Amino acid sequence: MIKIPFFKYNDVELFYTKEGKGEPLVLISGLGSKMSWAFQIPFFKEKMMVISPHNRGVGKSSRPNYPYTMDMFVDDIKNLLEHLNIKEKIHLCGISMGGMIAQYYALKYPNSVKSLMLCATAAIYSPKSLIEAQELMQNFSLEQKFKVRVSALFSRPFKKILRQDKALYKRIEKEFMEDPTTLQDYVNQGAAISGYDTTNDLDKIKLPTLIILGDDDRIIPTLDHSKLLHEKIPNSKLEIIANTGHGFNAEKAEEVNNLLWNFIKEHLK
């Protein structure tokens, strides 16, 4: 029998993947997404121990029906790492809402993080328009919702590739279709973003930090947000991936993987 990796505490059961050996790399997914890192895990599991949870409210993890907070998301990760008996400092990477969780984690537990990677994210952001979009699509089929997601998430060049590469399209579609996120889940996860603002605390992040964005992001205007992060976080580096959208880590996975790995290598033991 295959043992499915779940970790339970209080009222939440968290599903997670843990692959590879070496220094721990924790990958945090974005709003409504259970696996933002499908194109990174195969690369990094050959080099490090890669841990990627389904956040509460998505995928195979519990979806308690109440508004979540950043403290909940952060402590879910902290408790998971304790469950896995990981005592050494982690390399922490988050995308979109995952990048917000990563900032909050670095501020709350600075001595447990070795390096920080913030992708397509912000110090303050209102999820109101994203939630409203989900409300408008409430009666859409999953196939219709997926087409809208592809349109919003990716750049025109990548959408052209997806039209031609049916296997790649199906791979991304499969991730979306399995254990789909509901409107209730979006609302509960979005509550954590609504009350979130690290703007005045970013200078307290003393960790080596890599900030990455796509220059054609139509979900979060990350150019301005990322410049703010870069200006406020003292030991930070900014990288812009040309001609890509919010999902740049899928669009140009090889380039992103190399960027992340070259940064991490500077901070390995």
- Residue 182 placed within a domain: yes
- Residue 1 placed within a domain: no
Instruction: Report percent pLDDT > 70 for the chain.
Output: 99
- Residue 102 placed within a domain: yes
**Binning pLDDT at 50, 70 and 90, where does residue 200 land?**
very high
- What predicted TM-score, i.e. pTM, was given to this entire model? 0.96
Distance CA 91, CA 211 (A): 14
Q: For residue 232, what are the domain limits?
A: 6-265
Q: What is the pLDDT of residue 269?
A: 81
CATH number at residue 133: 3.40.50.1820
The string of pLDDT tens digits covering residues 60-70 is: 999 999 999 99
**Binning pLDDT at 50, 70 and 90, where does residue 221 land?**
confident
DSSP letter, residue 197: B
CB 44 within 8 A of CB 261: yes
**Binning pLDDT at 50, 70 and 90, where does residue 3 land?**
low
Q: How many domains does the chain have?
A: 1
- Residue 171 placed within a domain: yes
